[in-house]
Every structure is written in structure tokens, then in C-alpha cells.
Structure 1
């Protein structure tokens, strides 16, 4: 049986991680879902995209002071490199990731 990675293990890796704090009942979150899928597919192994359901992960949500959905955070080696609340265009996500890769070279 494969061991499930913890949130901290995921965000502390070498690969940047885009975290989507969302809620099932949130309209803008539903709108973002296909955009995130497309972004993840396009970026391949350059980024890892994970979704955190705020209703099922209250402690984690509170520890990052997430109050509105969707909230996105881009982590690299455990550090928050970017944070955004509300919907975002795929192009902006690409720019943020590209900026990060130039900073971390």
C-alpha cells in the first residue's frame, strides 16, 4: 500500500506546488476547475496542482488564514511565493510560474 504524502511533504518538494483552496458550494471555484486542469496539463511536471477542500481541511485552511474562496498559493520548497484570492486567468498562472522559475535558477 502506497503511503499518502502529507501537505507539508508535498509543498516542501523541489517542484513548485499550486494549491487551490476551494469549496464545493463556491461558484467561482467551479469556474476555475477546468482552467486549473488545463494549466496542470500544459505545465506537465513543471508544477504540481493540488486542491484543498476548505470544509474538509479547516485546520489547514485556518493556519494559512484562508477566508475567501478560491484562494491560490504557489509554494516552492515550503515557502509561499505567490498568493491570490479570487478567480485568475490561466495566462496569469503561467506568468507567475515563469517568474518563479527565473527567480529560482
Structure 2
């Protein structure tokens, strides 16, 4: 959890995708996130966290839906949504917190 605290305390937006490997569209989701990361460049961080490998964190954040996207900035949760999002929507949401 200490590393997670360091991760989200960034002064640039941090988009986190909580996912599981057994999701039906895992490959397309990873591809979409690569596109989002490329579009945002160094203005934001895009991170994927496997729920099954990080159960304590997922439980602490009450991650129920799959995938769940969360945007943090300066250690504060700015936005959260469960369910699929398209790349342009994610990019626009993160850009609000530059």
C-alpha cells in the first residue's frame, strides 16, 4: 500500500485501470490503454493493476466492477467509473486534471 500512496501522490494525473486477466476483452483493453498513454505522453501516467494479484488494494478501494478506472492527482481521487470506456473519453477525462 505504501507504493500505491507514492504512485497516486503525483502532481500529474494518474489513470489507473483495475482489471483481471480473465476479462473477455483484456487484449483490446490493453491496446486501448497503450493508445491513451501514447496520446497523453508525459503529461499523465497510465497504470494497469491486476485485481487478482492485488486483492488487498482492490478490497481497500472497494473495486467491484471490472474494469474500474480511477484518476488520481496529488493523492486525491478525482474521478472513478466502472465499465468499459473508449480511448477518447479516457483521454478527455485525464486532460481535465492537467
Provide the rounded CA distance (Å) in 1 between the counterparts of 2:91 and 2:77. 16
Q: Structure 1-normalised TM-score? A: 0.86
| Unaligned runs of at least 5 residues, structure 1 | none
Alignment partner of 1:43: what SS?
helix
Greater radius of gyration (CA): 1
Provide the rounded CA distance (Å) in 1 between the counterparts of 2:12 and 2:97. 11
Moved over 3 A (4+): none
| Unaligned runs of at least 5 residues, structure 2 | none
Q: Structure 2-normalised TM-score? A: 0.91
Deviation per residue, 1:53-96 (Å, 9 max, x gap): 10011110011100111000000011110111111011111211
Which of 58, 78, 86 is residue 75 of structure 2 equivalent to?
78
Which has the bigger relative contact order, CA under 8 A and spacing at least 6?
Answer: 2
Are positions 1:14 and 2:14 aligned together?
A: no
Match of residue 36 from structure 1: 33
